[in-house]
Amino acid sequence: MAGCTNARCKGSGSVRSTQEREFRERRAIRLYMMTINEKRELTNAYYEAKEGRSIVGKDYEAQYLIGTVVNIVSRDHIIVAVAEQEYEVYLSSIRFPKLGGDGVLEPEAYADEAKDFVRAHLIGRQVHVQLEYSRKSRYGSVFLGSALDSRNVSELVVDTVLGRNDIEVTSNYYDACCTVESSAILNKKAMHSGVDPPVIIDLSNATWKEVGKACDNIFVWAFDEYEKVEGFVESVIRTNSDTKDKIILLIQRNKKTWKIAFSLYHITWPRGEEPYADEAFELLRQTLFHKRVEIEFVVQVLLETIDSDGYFMGALLESNTHVAIPLLKAGLAKLEPGPSYHVEFCRAQDSAITKKLKIWENNVEPYRNYN
């Protein structure tokens, strides 16, 4: 209702939100009191009325996959690698808070937390997938752990509570998800609590001046108290820059999440149209993408912490290994001359030079700097 200044109109959004919450609480109580058979009958009746069939029938035969999650495309859309083949799978019976875009101006509460939760629990993990039905895409239930001791990821998300059940796409485990959701609503967890989600401060596209001001007042000043800071790699992005690619990190601190652009300090690799540029970027992406890392910032002075593009500078460690080591060993990166490097950096580079790998294929003398 464009241009409405009536107080009742202004409050209509909150009224609808309250009504929806009350409706969901009443629904949760009803579902909580229902038996498993009653819930299944309700679900089957819904589909029989809507489509003339039940997809939760006893004669439905599911397909199974056992593989490793290699990519989280979105909160409910994952890529599972089985041998050399990759499968796209959507989590069934779950609806996440909307992130924004696609006609949604602002992300819903806990949308980012839901995305991060799925990534943290699934990326790089072996999963068991029960493919349950297909509606243009594969939908299924995803389980962590062994077949005898596993946990449905949809139940984990709903229990945490960063998602809710969606009767539009119902899995064979819809009943269990309903029970978990009902408990979460009654206990007013997370998105059902009415409490605002944690604040995310996005500095990933900020200027040098904007980032410098934020650092001066907020969090970098405290990093020198710690040898390392924990973070999460949201993405690795190719840029038009001839000097660096862009690593997007998420850092949680003081009940806030900082989203920053990061560049590896004094490490270079092929970019743009240079030979091996694609191979170097892909190895960097595979090493970092959706991984939890430890960050070593350059914090001697503010000017050395941030470069002219507003990128933070330093080193990243994944599983206690500097992420530059695989690139150096493969002959897809090199150390900039000047600084005194850790011995493992120099040995990794010397190994590639000696074997004349990739960018060193025409090199004569190994570079050594073990000081």
- Of 31-45, 152-166, 297-311, which has the strongest mean pLDDT? 297-311
pLDDT at 41: 60
For residue 55, name the pLDDT band (cuts at 50, 70, 90). very low
How large a percentage of the chain has pLDDT more than 90? 13
Q: What is the domain partition of the chain in residue ranges?
A: 16-192, 199-360
pLDDT at 360: 94
Report how far residue 249's alpha carbon sits from residue 97's, in angstroms, rounded to the nearest whole number. Answer: 22
pLDDT at 193: 63
Is 328 in contact with 321 (CB distance < 8 Å)? no
pLDDT at 262: 92
Q: Kindly report the CATH number that applies to the domain delimited by 16-192.
A: 2.40.50.90
pLDDT at 194: 65
Side-chain half-sphere CA neighbours of 188 within 13 A: 6
pLDDT at 65: 86
* Extended beta strands in 136-205, E state: 137-145, 150-152, 199-202
Among the residue ranges 99-103, 258-262, 308-312, the one predicted with the least confidence is 99-103
For residue 83, name the pLDDT band (cuts at 50, 70, 90). confident
Helix (H/G/I), strand (E/B), else coil: 245 = coil
Report how far residue 325's alpha carbon sits from residue 346's, in angstroms, rounded to the nearest whole number. Answer: 9
* Extended beta strands in the chain, E state: 63-74, 77-82, 85-91, 126-135, 137-145, 150-152, 199-202, 229-237, 246-253, 256-264, 267-268, 292-297, 312-318, 321-322, 334-335
- Nearest 5°: the CA angle 69, 74, 23 is 120
Q: What is the pLDDT of residues 100-154, one digit of tens each?
A: 555 545 666 667 777 777 887 888 888 988 887 776 778 888 888 765 556 787 7
More reliable by pLDDT, 286 or 36 = 286
Among the residue ranges 5-19, 251-265, 275-289, the one predicted with the least confidence is 5-19
Q: Can you state the angle between helices 153-160 and 174-186, rounded to 10 degrees?
A: 10
pLDDT at 356: 93
215's enclosing H/E stretch is helix 208-217
Q: Which amino acid is at 252?
A: Q
pLDDT at 123: 85
Six-digit token pair at 115?
């995305």
Among the residue ranges 44-53, 301-310, 341-350, the one predicted with the least confidence is 44-53
For residue 52, name the pLDDT band (cuts at 50, 70, 90). very low
367's enclosing H/E stretch is none
State which CATH number among 3.40.1410.10, 3.40.50.300, 1.10.3210.10, 2.40.50.90 fits the domain covering 199-360: 2.40.50.90
- Nearest 5°: the CA angle 145, 151, 152 is 120
More reliable by pLDDT, 332 or 56 = 332
pLDDT at 358: 94
Q: What is the pLDDT of residues 3-20, one digit of tens each?
A: 444 444 444 455 556 666
Q: What does the pLDDT average to over 295-306?
A: 66
Report how far residue 349's alpha carbon sits from residue 353's, in angstroms, rounded to the nearest whole number. Answer: 6
Q: What is the pLDDT of residues 210-223, one digit of tens each?
A: 887 776 555 555 55
pLDDT at 164: 42
Asked whether this chain's domains 16-192 and 199-360 adopt the same fold, the reply is yes
Output the DSSP codes for 250-313.
EEEETTEEEEEEEEETTEE---TTSTTHHHHHHHHHHHHTT-EEEEEE--SSHHHHB-TTS-EE
Among the residue ranges 36-50, 249-263, 279-293, 350-364, the one predicted with the least confidence is 36-50
pLDDT at 348: 93
pLDDT at 162: 39
Q: What is the pLDDT of residues 157-200, one digit of tens each?
A: 765 443 444 444 445 555 555 665 666 666 666 555 666 766 77
